Amino acid sequence: MRMTMVALVDRHLLGERVKAVLAYVPSAVFPAIIFPGIFINDYGTFIEMNDPKIFGAIVAILVGYFSRNVIATIISGLFSYWIIIFLL
């Protein structure tokens, strides 16, 4: 899939408009994984507003924004989630 995209695309094939829209692809795709991953539980129903996953996600957003580090973001979110479910 990715191969055909790189191999077949000619530099003149894409107009400026299409390129500008493609720049939004990460923002347009990944929230479809993020939102259900946080707000919907294993049984397909909405979680409560005090769910530890919401807290973990907020921590991850803050750490990710300021650290710009992918691994720090994942680890901080997981740890804050674990602290709530195991210690509190």
DSSP collapsed to 3 states, 41-78: CCCCCECCCCCHHHHHHHHHHHHHHHHCCHHHHHHHHH
Dist. CA 32–CA 28, nearest whole Å: 8
- 47 contacts other proteins (rule: CB under 8 A): no
Nearer to other proteins, 23 or 87 (CB): 23
Binds other proteins (CB under 8 A): choice among 55, 71, 83, 87: 71
Dist. CA 88–CA 85, nearest whole Å: 6
Residues 7-46 that bind other proteins (CB under 8 A): 7-11, 13-14, 17, 19-40, 44, 46
Residues that bind other proteins in the complex, under the rule CB under 8 A: 1-11, 13-14, 17, 19-40, 44, 46, 53, 56-57, 60-61, 64-65, 68-71, 73-74, 77-78, 81-82, 85
